[in-house]
Structure 1
Amino acid sequence: MNNRMAPKWNKKMTIALASVGLVGSIGTGVFFAYNETASEKAGHQAEEKVKTASNSNIDRLFKEDKSEKKDNAKKDVLQGILEKEKESNAQFASIIKGEDGSEELSSSEIALDVINTLPTDSDIILNTNQPTQTVTPIPLNVVPMDNPTPTVPIIDDNGAIEEPAYIEPPVIDGGGDDGGDSGGSGDDVIVDPEPSNTTPTIFADNQSIHIGGNFNPYNYATASDNEDGDLTSSIQVISNNVNPDKEGTYTVTYMVTDSVGKSSESSISIEVVNDAPILHVVDNQISVGDVFNPMEGVSAYDTEDGDVTSRVDVVGNNVDNQNPGTYEVTYKVTDSFGKSSTETIQVQVVNDKPTIVAKDQELNVGDTFDPLEGVTAADKQDGDLTSNVQVVANDVDTTQAGTYHVTYVVEDSAGGQTEKTVTIHVKEKNTAPEILMDTNTINLHVGDQPDWMVGVTATDEEDGSLTDAIAVDVANVDLTTPGTYKVVYQVTDSGGLTTTKEVPVTVE
């Protein structure tokens, strides 16, 4: 059915609906009484089908059409029918007479026409592109194009049915071959022109904040809507019990409303946390007698308050700096919101051991050895303890060459002891080296440049040859001026013994 046929169809449908409305309101028995020439059998069949059509379609149209206008129209129709119930068959025939002047229809013809015109649930098939067609009742706001939504008849003050103007309904192309743009075999359908409105969405997550901060609930939520876009600025906080100065878990509820009044709500939890302050303390060690300051090197920091060192308290301290031992010191710090931390450290009080100063020695056979000579001792707490040094082992024999040991021990007033062992090397008695020359005098002429080592050697009983170790001093010899001078030769052995020899020099 094309659009050009719509007015004629609409007129026919109006007449049919008027008939059904009249029949449904007055009663099917009254309706069929208007035409006594109709066959009794046809009258009964029409009566049953009209009842069915009236109940399943017309009443449903009135029930599902919620607009005030159509509700009023329904009332007008029923009222008009009741008022005209007693009018003559001629008056009813004039109401339904066609505008083109065609002759009147009999009541049975009208009824049968209505029956054949009105669709029923079992007659309506919504064609889809699926391989198998299924029979599906069509909602009132979606009907096949061949059966546009019928208008409700309105009766004017004179009892005549007003024919409403035809309104082109919106169409979705079902893909059939009825002139639509798309391919396929489906029928075009009329859809509800009123667009749907989606609910706006709030985006907000649970949060954890630090105590004492500035809390703004609007910083944690955004909103958007398919139709309105960004609605963040329209968010309202409808519930907020957050106390940013007290630890706990709270709730914030947001609401946002779009431009057509559709609203949504969302709630999040806000956890207010107070980080405990942190103490920076370490174990310590002091010497007996040292002054102990428990706050030395101690600090504290808090996430919310920053540096809280000034809030640190010593809540426990049993340190005795006069007696060696292990002691404890306990610290406590509390932030401005009442959260505390405690730490305990150990303090070792130790007695410093005394020190002994004694060195290894080398002696020659026959030398005198005093093991305490040059030995000293001291202690941090007691001071000089040299007089307390004891020789607990000494095997030195200066009559024989060899390696020997001496062990010393010293104890302080607190009972701390120190022990030290030194090594004593005893060597054979050292003899001095000897310088040998070929002559006892050196004769030269003015301007000579002599080799002062010609004929000179040195030997040592312990070290052997020491010729390379000889040192020559000719600072007093003037080779440019005749005269008598002296040259000095000197050599030292490994034992530290030195031999010196002076030789006369004559310059002519």
Structure 2
Amino acid sequence: MKTTGFKRLMVVSSCGLVLSGTPVAMAQELVEPSQEQTTEETTIQEPEVLEQEQPAPEQEEIKAEVVNEAPVKKTLPVLNGVKNHTIKEGETFDPKDGVTAQDEQDGDLTDQIQFTGSVDTNQAGTYTLTYSVKNLLGESATATAIIQVEKIEKQAAPLPQPRAFTLEINDFTALRHSDLKAQIIERLVLKEVNGDPATLDDVATFTIDQPDATNTLGEKTISLSVTASDGTVSEKTITVTVVSGLRIETADLTVIDEESFDPYAGIQAFETASDGSEIRLGAYDPATKTGIEVIKNTVDLNKAGLYEVRYRVHTSLGETAERSIRVTVIVKQVFDPTIYLTVNDQDMTVGEELTSEKILGWAEVLGASHIAYEIVDQVIPVDAYNRLTTAGSYRIRYTATKEGVPSVQKEITLTVRDRVCYSAPTIQKRILRTSPQLGSVRTERTLPKTGETKSGLLNPLLGLSLIGLVAFLKRERLLSKLMGKK
């Protein structure tokens, strides 16, 4: 392309001064309204010389002179920052980001940049953008950018982790016909794999393999199964012992020869029903094979001494248990001056209260006016509240006396056993000491007088009445004890 120059029309006075410098092109426009101009070359025509009137003699002669200026250099605008890009599907993309344009003559042309084409960043593919810009002279520049949108491979959703549970429950004992599943649910502790607590509301199903296991007695192996919502199964096995709830109470008896003896007076037995209530068992019934059966009875009412009665208890479920009692038989003649003293070995537990009155209360005596006791070999340790503090075996000697009658002594063994979880490190101990001397408040009691008087005739009558009274009172007291336990 050729460079087009401009010529200026210089009007020079006759004295050589430049009066005006209008460009030839402009001067030509003043002469002609329009003139063709091509993109390749612009031709400047010399203006026609107009005839001018001859100046007056006094005026200066004006001369026109054409002066050539340096030609204007044409430059194309430049686009910068048009680059190919690769982006990920879904990313943000600005087509004009970083794209600028400039021209040597016009300066910054960034605001004049245009582009064609578009980019859908949500759809993978290849897109073309064409940028263009023009300067003030109409010169333009173009550039092309390729935008590659890459598809993102979506990862598969992670599979749900299996939800298992830890089942915590101990072996236990259940009554017959009780609701086994309800008892298991009450005791069962559920935990997540990470140790967090859970409930049965968090699981789909809960089952046990033997819901009717309590219908029969004995040890049963029960399998528990908990199924989570995702189908994961957690299992545990426990042992459940089914019992009938048999409760047996016994009491030793003392029988005087005048009394009738009932072997069932020393035992009571109860069986727990399915609803939790207790049913008292009577004497053994061969038809139903339930009740209390006497399997041993060595009592001889005609001979004073200590005897044993043994029982076997049968429940409606076939469960059996055996117990025994001791029976003391006292045979006394009306005028027999002999003192009768009956007292048996005793069992107690650490922590139980032991007083002199209780020790004396263990003895049954006839024909004596005083009863006393003494601790043999070693003392019995108790605390400030008369509670036993030390397990062991202790000998106690009883002495029954009556004026004019030889005294009677008998020794027993008191066995003190440890109690589970009993602990009293700060208990203040003191020693229970007793004296065998008669008349001691703590170690003896005064018995009803047997009627010693100066009248020989009154003595037999009073003695007979006293023996009958004592026998009646003993029987009433024994019956009261038994009735209180019913």
Q: TM-score range by the shorter chain?
A: 0.3 to 0.5
TM-score (normalised: structure 1):
0.32
Q: Larger relative contact order (C-alpha < 8 A, sep ≥ 6)?
A: 2
How high is the TM-score relative to the length of structure 2? 0.34
Structure having the higher strand fraction is 2
